[in-house]
Structure 1
Amino acid sequence: MTRRLRALLYGDVDMNVIDGSAVWAQSTALALADAGVEVTLVLKAAVTTDRLLQPLADHDRVVLHAPHDQGSVPGLGQRQLTPAQFAALAASLDAQERFDLVVLRGFGLVREVVADGRLHGRLWTYLTDIPQTVVELTDEAVAPLTEIADASRIVLCQTEELRSFLEHGVPATCGKTALFPPIVPEALVAAPEEPPTPEDLQLVYIGKFARRWNTLEMTRLPARLAEHGVTAQLHAVGDKIHRGDEVLPDFPQRMREGLEQAPGVVWHGGRPRAEAMAQAALAHVGLSWRDAELDASLELSTKVLEYGSLGLPVVLNRTPAHEALLGADYPLFAASEDDVVDALVEVTRDGERWKLAAERCRTAAAAYTLRRASEDLRAELDRVFPDAPELTRDGGRPLRVVVASHDLKFFTRILDDLRALPQVEVRLDTWASLNDHDEATSRELVAWADVVILEWCGRNAAWYSRHKRDGQRLILRLHRFELYTGYPAEVQHDAVDQVIAVSPHYAKLTRELTDFAPERVVTIPNWVDVHAFDRPKDPAARFHLGMIGVSPVTRKRLDLGIDVVERLRAVDPRFTLFVKSKLSWDYWWIWKNHDEQRELQASLDRLQSSSSLRDGVVFDGFGPDVAAWLRKIGFVLSTSDDESFHLSPAEGMASGAVPLVRDWPGADTIYADQWIQTDVEAMVERILDLVHGGDWDEAAHVARRQVADAFDLPAVVEQWRRILVEDLPTDAPGTRLMP
C-alpha cells in the first residue's frame, strides 16, 4: 500500500463516557492512524470532556469532526446524532473528499448507512450487538445481516468464534471477514508484583455499571470478604450507570447507593483512560465477572486484556473463549458470588495462585497491543488496496475491463482484486446461462472495453470473439468440462489473445483438443487465500478426515473416502470422516444418471449397516464457510477419478491440514509427490504413520508453506494483473505448480 488512504470512522457511542464501545473508537482511530491512514472520527455527542479525545487530537493523522461545533448537521442543537443523521452526514463528507474505507460500529447505525446506499463497497463493519447463538439467528435475523455483508467490503470480527459463527449462519460474510480483536495500549505502569495478603486486598473495576455485569454484587465483596477475615477495598472507576430492567427496575438507585455507601467501596467516578489504568495498577485483582446469561457471548472483554497488560489478574467467568485465552486451569474463574469470594480468599492465602493468574493474564494481553493491531490493519489494508503496475490508458483514464460469465464462483477474489485497483474500472456482463444473454448489453460493453475476460468457454466466448474490436484484448479461461463439449469449436480462435488453464495438465489437453494456438495457452492456477484459511485448529483435528464436494459420487468416489475411514477406525475409533457437500439428488442433471443413483445409495446403505461407519461418517451442510469448517479437519482427501485442479486439498493445506491426493491424471503437475497416494491402503498407512508417529504437526506445517508458495492469492492475482496488458509465457515442458 503506497498511496495514502482516507478512512471515515464512527461508532454509535458517546465519547464522553468511558466504556468498551468508546474505548474501541479511540483505539481503532489510533490503530488506523498508526497504520498510515488519514482518519476522520465523527463524534456522536457534543464534547463535555476530552478524556478519550485528547490522544486523538494530538495525533497528526486524526481529525475529529464535531457536528455540534461545526454546524454540519442542521438543527442538531445539543442532541446526539441519530443513525439517519450520520448516514446523511457521511455521504456529505464523502462527496467533499472521497473516503477509501468507512469503519462503522453498531447494528442499527450500519443498517441505516446500508439503506442509504451511497457508501456500498467501502464499508468495514464491526458488529457485536447481533445474535450470537443459533437459536437467535432466525431467518428474520439473517436477512439484515446479509444486506450488511453484501454492502460491506470487510466484516470485522472480534474473535475467531464470532467469525466462524457468522460465516456459518450468514453465508454472505464468507470471504469478507477479518479478525479485529480488542486493542489495549502499551502499559505505562505495572501492577504490584507481590501477592495480596488477608490484611490488604485491593480490587478494581473499570467500566459501565450494569445489572448483567454484576457491578451491584461487586459492591458487596468487601463486606463479604471481611466475614472471612480479609480486609479488602473495591476501587470503582466509571460514571455510566445503566437503566433498570424488568429484573431489577430500581437498579440505578441501588447501584449508586452501593457505590456511595457500601463499606470498603471507593468510587472514583469517570477518569481519563490513563488515570483509570493507573488506578488499576494499584490493585491486586481486577473484576470482570458477569451474569451467566452472558457466557454464550462470542466476544472478549477489552477490560480483561487491559488489566492483563498491567500484569493484573482478573476474576471472570469460565467460558470456552476464556479457557482458550487463559487455560482451563486458570485459578480465578468464578460462576457465582460465592465463587468470587472463595477465589479471592484463596489468593490472599496462596501467593503462587495469584502469581500464576497474573502471568497468564499478562501473557494473554501481549497479543492485543496497539502496535500489533496497527501491524495487522496495515497487512489487511495491503490486501484490500494492492499496489499495481501501470495500467492507465492514454490520457490517464482507467483501463476498462469487462468480465463476461454465467457463473463467477471461481472468480470472486480475482474480481475483488481487479475492482480494488485504482487504475482499473470493471463492469460485468452477466449471462443468464452458458447460452443466454442480453445482446444489447453485451454490444454496449464490447464497445466500451479495453479488455474482455471470458470466464468459462461457453457461447460468451463465441459471441465476444466475433465482436472483438481492433486493439481490444480478449482473455479466455476455461475449466474442465468445456474441453469435452462443442463450445471451443464455436470460438473465433485468432481473436483470443490468451487462453488460461488452471493446471499444466489441462493446458496440455487444451492444446491437444482445441484449435487455439498452442503458444497462447498458459497456466494460472486457482487461488487460495492462505491468510483467510490460517485459523486455529481443533485439538482433535488430526483424527478428522474431510471431503469437500463429493458429487457426482461416481467421479468423486465417496466410496473410497469411506474405505479409508473404515480401515482407520478398525485401528483407532477416534478417526471420523466429515463430508461437506451437496449430494447427488441436489443436482437434477447429476441425479438423472442411474449409475449415480445406484452408487450413492450403495454408499448410504453401507453406512447404515455398519455400526462403526454409522458413527464414523458425518455429513455437514454445504456452504461457503469452508475456512471455518476446516478448523476441525486434519486431513483432506481427494479420491476422485479425475480433476482439473481440485481446490479442496490446497484449501486444506492452507488451513494446516495434510492433503491425501489419489493419483488422478495431472495430480502430479499440481501437488508435490509426498501428498500423492496410489490407493486406499497407501492413504491409510500414511495417516496412521503421521498421527501415531507424531509427525502430523510437521507435515501440516510443510503443507501450509508449500501452498503459500504455489497458490497464495497475492501471487495469483499478480499474474491476472499482468495478463490484462501483456502476454504471459506458455508452460515449459514438465511444468509442475508445487515442487
Structure 2
Amino acid sequence: MQAQPEDAVLEGQSLHRANWLFVAGRAQAVTAHERAIGGLLAAGHTVTLLHFDRISTTRGLPVEPHRISAVDGLPRRVRKPAKALELVLPRSRRTELALRRDASLADTVSRANHVLLLDDEAETARAALFAANATARFWSPSQVGAVLEEEPFWRYLDRRLHQLSGALLKPLKTKGLMEAISWLDDREPGVCPAPEDVHRFARGMIHRLLLRGRLDDARALLRLTDRAERHGIRAGGDAAAYAALKMHLRLHDEVVQPAELQQVLEEVFASADAALDAKAYRDCAGRAAIGLDLMFHPRLHTDVPSTPLVESPGTFTRPLYESRVGQVLTAPTSPAPTRPAQEPSVPRNRVGAPLKVTYLPGAYPWHAARALAALGSDDRAELSELRLTDPAFQGMALGELFVSYRLGKAVPEAAADREPATAEQLALLTQADVVVADWADKGALWASLNCPASARMVVRVHSADVLSAGFHLLDWSRVDVLVCVSEHLRQVVVGLLGDRFPQDAVIVVPNVLAPFDGPSEEPSGGASAAGRPAVPQPEDVRGGRTIAMVGWGQRVKDPIMALDILGALLQRESGWRLRLIGADFASSTSGLVNAYSLAFRRRAVEPQLLDAIDFVDQTKDVPGALAGSHFILSTSLRESFHIGVMEGLVAGAVPVVRDWPAFATHQGAASLFPPSVIFETVEEAVEIIWSLRDEAARQAAVHDLQGSMRQLLDGRNVAGRLLEVILR
C-alpha cells in the first residue's frame, strides 16, 4: 500500500466538487462530525456514509448510510446463515467480499476523492478500500478532526481566489480572504502544514492580484507559499514562476536593471517549456503569462526615461523568442491568406457596395473617437463599433486567460477555460470586410486570431501598446497594414517585430485632431487659432505668462520637471503661472509611483510655487481648457504624438517640448516638432519660454509653427489619409 505522511492534508481544491466517503464502525463516530458533514453538503460536495453495523444520523442529514455487507442481494433462504457467518469475519475480509459482490458499493468507493476512517473499526477496512481506489486520499481517525477543521478554510479561500480570478463586476473585500490565509499560515507544523499543491493553487491568484495592483494581498499569499517552503514542501516546477512573481513586486518598489531580469525570465520560460513538453498546458500558460507580464512590466518600460524595448529589443526579448512556448505563442496560427497587393479583398458581387468595417476602439477608446466619426460619415463604409466589455480585456497586461487562449489556437487541447468574447461579438467580427483595431492590445490579439480570411485587418498603434506583451502575441500574419501615429514609433515597431511583419506595410498616419483651417493672416490674442473664444483670464495672467500642461498626473508625464521650469521662471520674473489640466495622480500601491507623487506634492506646496499653480479638472473639452494659455508644455519621458500639445498649438499656444528620453535615440520629438521648441534640460526650456515672453514674438512663433505643421494639425487631412488606408 502506498505510504502517506501522518501530517498529510487537503489539496486546497475544495471548490472543485469532491466525493467524500465517511467510513464508521460505531454511530458515535458519525455523530461527532455531523456538523462538518453538513458543511460539505452545503458546499455542494457529495457525501457517502459507509458502516458495518446499523447506524443513523441524529440531525436529519440527507445522507443515506450504506452498510458494508456481502449479504445484501442474496436469496432470502440463505441470507440469515450468511449474515451470521459475516459477523464472525474480520472487517477487512468482510469489506473485500462486499466490494466483490456489490457493484454499486464498489462504484461508490472508486469515485471517492477522500476516504475518512472515523474510528478504529473503520481503520481495519483501509487495505480493502485502498485496493478498490488507490487514487483517493485516506485519512486515519487521528487526522479526521484536523482535516474537517481545515476544509472550511480552504473552501472559503478557494472560493475567494476563484471569484477574484474571473469576470468580477465589483471589487471584493479581502478581509475574509486574509483571515483564511492567516489561519492557514499560523497552523503548527505537523498538525496542518501547507498542502503540497499550495504553490499551484496560489500561483495564478498572486499573478492576478499583482495585475490588479493589490500588492499587499499578493504579498500575503506569497508568505503562505514561503511557509510551505520552510516546512519542506517545495514549489517544484513552479519555483521559477515564484521567483518571477517576487520580481514583479520588487519592480514596484525599486529600480531594477534589465540585466538582472534575464536569468529570471529565462528560467520562468524554461519552466513553461517543461510544462509544454509534459502536456501540462494549464501550468504552461500560467507560467508563460507570469513571464510575459514580467518582461513587459510597466515599471520597466512605460514611465521610465529608458527602456530596453527601444534600446536593445532583440537582446531583451530573447528569452521569449528562444523558448519553445514563446515560439508557439508568437507563430502564425494558420497560413496567411494570399491576396493581390493592390486589389481590395471585398467579394466581386459586392463591388460598389459599402465595405463592412468592424472597428475595435481598444483599451483607451477616446483616441478612436474622431476616426470613428470620419468612418461613420463616409458612404464607402458600413461601420460597426465593437467594444469588448469583458473585464479580461481591460488593461495592457496579458494574464493567464489570454496566454491560454493564444496557446489553444496552436495546440487545441490547451484551449482556455472560456471565450473572452460573446457569440454576438464574434459574429460582428466575422461578418467584416475590414477589421480595424485601434491599439495593439488584447482586443487586437483576439481579433487577429478570429479575423476571417476574406477580411483585411488594420492595426493602429500608439506607444503604451507597443511596449506591452499583447503586441508580441498578435497573429501578425493576419494583419495587412500596421499604422503608427509617428515616425519614431514606426522605427520602434520595426525594431521590435523584425522579419515577423513586412516593413513596407508599417506606415505613419498621425492622430486625428479637430478640423483646423490654418493660421490666420493677422494673429490676434483675442481668440484661439481654432476660432474658439479665449477663456476670460485674471489680469495677472494676461501678459503672456501662462504655461499649460495636459494630462499631468502620471509619472510618465514627469510634472516635477514642469514645477522646476516654473520655479526657474519665477526666479527671473513674477507673474508666471502653470495650468495643470487633467486628473491628479491615481491611488497606487507601487512604492516608486507613490514616492514620485509625494515628491511632486511636496514641491508644489513650496511657498514660491503654491500660488502660481492652477489645477483644472479632467475635461473632454481640452481646447476650451487650453484657451488663453500662452505656452503648452510637454515634459514627458515618452510620447508617441502628444495630442495635448498639438491641441495647445491649435489653440494658439507655443509648444515647448522635451526631447522625450525614452525615444531620444529615434529623434522622437524631432520627428514632429522643429528644433526651436525642443529642449533637454530645465534651463533650455526656460530659455525657449523666456525668449518668447513678448506677445508679438510669441504670436509670430505660433503663426509660423501652425503653418509649417499644418499637415499634422489639420484633422480633415489626416482623417482622409486614414480612411484611404482602411477603405482602399
Band of TM-score, shorter chain: 0.3 to 0.5
Bigger strand fraction: 1
Bigger helix fraction: 2
TM-score (norm 1): 0.43
TM-score (norm 2): 0.43
Q: Flag the structure with larger Rg.
A: 2
